[in-house]
Structure 1
């Protein structure tokens, strides 16, 4: 009788152990390492996807790292330091032009306009683009999307950025705001929330939007190496679905609610300033409402790069863009 009790106890313990093991198997999540090119309010839907648990709902365990620069971000992706990169689509073209054997493929778009604003040191209530001629303009890094879009918009208004301006491009991205405040530049391109913070503190005045001027472009996109996509189609589809959930959530929610959710990523910025900046981006349609990068946007990107003299090759849309997962997610 005693042996039977022990056997029964052992069987119960074994059953509990096996049940726990099976539960762990069913809840095991696929790890995905994301490298973002910078920490930016412009990427609000990505932080929403993390904080609202959309990646987790899709069975993914994401690890986010900020790699601070397009070159570093692509190095992380190509060397397997990251599985997915959030960076400008132009970087995939640069990699392709270097005869890479394992291309970076754009599979889910996050932002669809430029995210910078033209900020002046002095108020310009009657601003005209011609006012820039002869001025000192603190620009962005040569070959990066902010600078290329900036030049594209200036040329659209018959301004030659290299002949009509004193164009400064010798300041690192992270130091541009400080250099504008302490230097002689009269104008600068700034992202949010820095642009709004400067306006609130009287350090500058927002007078135009490069996003509104340049039209839709695949400004920031999730991309992965072709080999990773081939080996992890299920994870890529789940990733895209989580991004789409976040995009729809951002579209439906108020700027104040979005600011509350993503504030942990911007602890040094006041909540009302975050909300004001998000509202500015929402109003100009900067956040993509779905993850599809369409061909018209791709062609606009190449046109902008070509105008800046930075297009190394005329890469066909079908070569570096994969909308299969985005289309499946939206249709289902």
Structure 2
């Protein structure tokens, strides 16, 4: 009888050991994170690299990306819990704050630190001068959005009043601006990549200047979340930033051709050569924020641009809507 009990005990121990090993071998389920991006552009190459290279998965995250096409739509998606994190211009967090939000939207990591748009002319211009815009029809971006405000800032920098020296069109929906220009609207247009380079390749337009080079450093597109989400999921946000930082480092060192191959699935209408050219163009002008920290200098420059455009509701202290501790932890 004792022998039977002893054998039974050994069998039970073996079963428990197998169960324990099986349980340990199973990976913990990935945590779902809903991310809304304001547009689809090579400008956001580090994000697509993080997705394609598995950096998020290595940090235990399953990131679901949605393109919401416009700052207003992106912020609405975030505020209504359609997204946990948004990638959008920092100006949107200031607009939300001005509306008296009880759950403020916090900027916690910067993806790009320059404007990402280019001035495209319908006609080929060998020796471009900003004075050529006077008297022209300029197809700009949505009023109150970062592209439009930077565009106006740069025009004024060159002595051009966008509201009196040219015909400014800014009532076209963000996602339809390229089609409007391709259909014949405007002498000049402000476009993101890769659309600008695709238009140039197809003979629909010609890149004549970079708004990013003209405007200086600004927190152009940042990752942000509601304070309540950050309070409930501090490790999630930190892991999110850590994955992005690894992607930023990879983009900084990799060949443009290699980066183009990685992000190609997000740009089915663009060839690899065009993607590589655009990646190098953004990288050479310092658009990718490899340190990911939104600085006070950048924040002040942002508000100066908003104020110049007449779109700053009221000045907001840097500490109120910016949290740099996540980046500081995530980059260690």
Superposition pairs of residues 117-128 of structure 1, within 5 angstroms? 117-128=118-129
Q: 2:64 corresponds to which residue?
A: 63
The Cα shift of 1:28 comes to 3.1
Alpha-carbon separation, structure 2, partners of 1:45 and 1:8: 54
Secondary structure of the residue aligned to 1:161 is: coil
Q: 1:271 corresponds to which residue?
A: 272
TM-score, normalising length: structure 1: 0.95
Alpha-carbon separation, structure 2, partners of 1:191 and 1:168: 17
The Cα shift of 1:20 comes to 2.5
The Cα shift of 1:2 comes to 7.7
Secondary structure of the residue aligned to 1:263 is: helix
Secondary structure of the residue aligned to 1:27 is: coil
The Cα shift of 1:16 comes to 2.4
Secondary structure of the residue aligned to 1:327 is: helix
* Gap change, CA 1:122 and 1:46, over 3 Å in 2: same
Q: Provide structure 1 residue ranges, at least 5 long, that are not aligned to the other structure.
A: none
Alpha-carbon separation, structure 2, partners of 1:77 and 1:171: 23
Superposition pairs of residues 219-230 of structure 1, within 5 angstroms? 219-230=220-231
Q: 2:140 corresponds to which residue?
A: 139
Alpha-carbon separation, structure 2, partners of 1:33 and 1:20: 30
Alpha-carbon separation, structure 2, partners of 1:214 and 1:75: 28
* Gap change, CA 1:18 and 1:91, over 3 Å in 2: same
The Cα shift of 1:234 comes to 1.4
Alpha-carbon separation, structure 1, partners of 2:270 and 2:10: 60
* Gap change, CA 1:9 and 1:318, over 3 Å in 2: same
Superposition pairs of residues 223-262 of structure 1, within 5 angstroms? 223-262=224-263
Q: 1:174 corresponds to which residue?
A: 175
Superposition pairs of residues 150-189 of structure 1, within 5 angstroms? 150-189=151-190
Superposition pairs of residues 62-141 of structure 1, within 5 angstroms? 62-141=63-142
The Cα shift of 1:6 comes to 6.7
Q: Which moved more, 1:28-37 or 1:258-267?
A: 28-37
The Cα shift of 1:74 comes to 1.3
Alpha-carbon separation, structure 2, partners of 1:47 and 1:88: 18
Q: 2:38 corresponds to which residue?
A: 37
The Cα shift of 1:269 comes to 1.1
Residue 308 of structure 2 is aligned to residue 297 of structure 1: no
Alpha-carbon separation, structure 2, partners of 1:211 and 1:84: 25
The Cα shift of 1:130 comes to 0.8
* Gap change, CA 1:184 and 1:62, over 3 Å in 2: closer
TM-score, normalising length: structure 2: 0.95
Q: 1:214 corresponds to which residue?
A: 215
Corresponding pairs, count: 330
- The structure 1 segments of at least 4 consecutive aligned residues displaced by more than 4 Å after TM superposition are 1-11
The Cα shift of 1:49 comes to 0.8
The Cα shift of 1:116 comes to 0.5
Alpha-carbon separation, structure 2, partners of 1:185 and 1:72: 25
Q: 1:12 corresponds to which residue?
A: 14
The alignment yields a C-alpha RMSD, in angstroms, of: 1.7
Could you list the per-position Cα deviations for residues 31-64 of structure 1 after superposition, in whole angstroms to 9, with x for gaps in the alignment? 2211111222111100111111111222222111
Alpha-carbon separation, structure 2, partners of 1:23 and 1:103: 41
The Cα shift of 1:10 comes to 5.4
Contact 2:70–2:175 under 8 Å retained in 1: no
Secondary structure of the residue aligned to 2:235 is: helix
Alpha-carbon separation, structure 1, partners of 2:295 and 2:279: 24
Alpha-carbon separation, structure 2, partners of 1:193 and 1:161: 25
Alpha-carbon separation, structure 1, partners of 2:17 and 2:72: 52
Alpha-carbon separation, structure 2, partners of 1:97 and 1:55: 33
Could you list the per-position Cα deviations for residues 118-163 of structure 1 after superposition, in whole angstroms to 9, with x for gaps in the alignment? 0001111111111100001111111111111000000111111011
The Cα shift of 1:22 comes to 3.5
Could you list the per-position Cα deviations for residues 244-295 of structure 1 after superposition, in whole angstroms to 9, with x for gaps in the alignment? 1111111111111111111111122111111111111111111111110000
Q: Provide structure 2 residue ranges, at least 5 long, that are not aligned to the other structure.
A: none
